[in-house]
Amino acid sequence: MARRELGGNAHKILQGQVLKGFFINTDFNQGPKQNSCIHTFKAYCDQKIGDETFSRGSYIRLWGSGVLDGELAKPEIVPGIYVEVENHGLTQPKKGGDPYWLYKVFLDDAVPSMSGDELGVADGNDQDSAGPVNANANSANANSANANSANANSAHTNAASEVTQSASPVAASNDIEDDDLPF
């Protein structure tokens, strides 16, 4: 298979939508001004993000924001971890300034993380790989770069957000067993 772009267009999570999937990587310096991030996930179940429906196992690419970039830069967020990303709407900063989109990222230890083989992450040497072309193989470097991006954005986002450990398993559609997952 020839080298190909994954997922086509990047999407935004609409208010009230929840992305359920495995974090793959973050691509930095994206967009016309080269100052945005695009985060890639592998869908855990069929779901609608933005105006598009994604099937289980497909790749979902999200445009970052100061808040979302900061959430995904936290040390708990490593390639292969299951996350749920929620858009809680446009929020007005308490001390004035521009409104921002409030995203929350939740972890669920009941859903096992994926390994590199399951993620389909390219090793950088195989251009025929089915996985993300710009995948970050070294999660420490990825998180360091994420933190740098988040710090650069935090001065003008005034974001208040959190990563929360879920106390109970996520109710996924069809309540599938781990060994039934296609990836």
Q: pLDDT digit string (tens) for 76-116?
A: 999 999 999 999 999 999 999 999 999 999 999 899 999 87
Looking at the predicted structure, is the pLDDT value of residue 54 above 90?
A: yes
- 3 state SS of 108: coil
Quote the distance between the C-alpha of residue 177 and its chain's center: 23
> Phi/psi at 164 (nearest 5 deg)?
-120, 135
> Phi/psi at 88 (nearest 5 deg)?
-95, 15
CA dihedral for 81, 41, 71, 139, sign (positive or negative): positive
Q: Model's pTM, two decimal places?
A: 0.64
Question: For the residues 22-46, what does the mean pLDDT come to?
Answer: 94
Q: What is the pLDDT of residues 6-32, one digit of tens each?
A: 445 788 999 999 999 999 999 999 989
Rounded to 10 degrees, the C-alpha dihedral 55/179/19/37 comes to -90
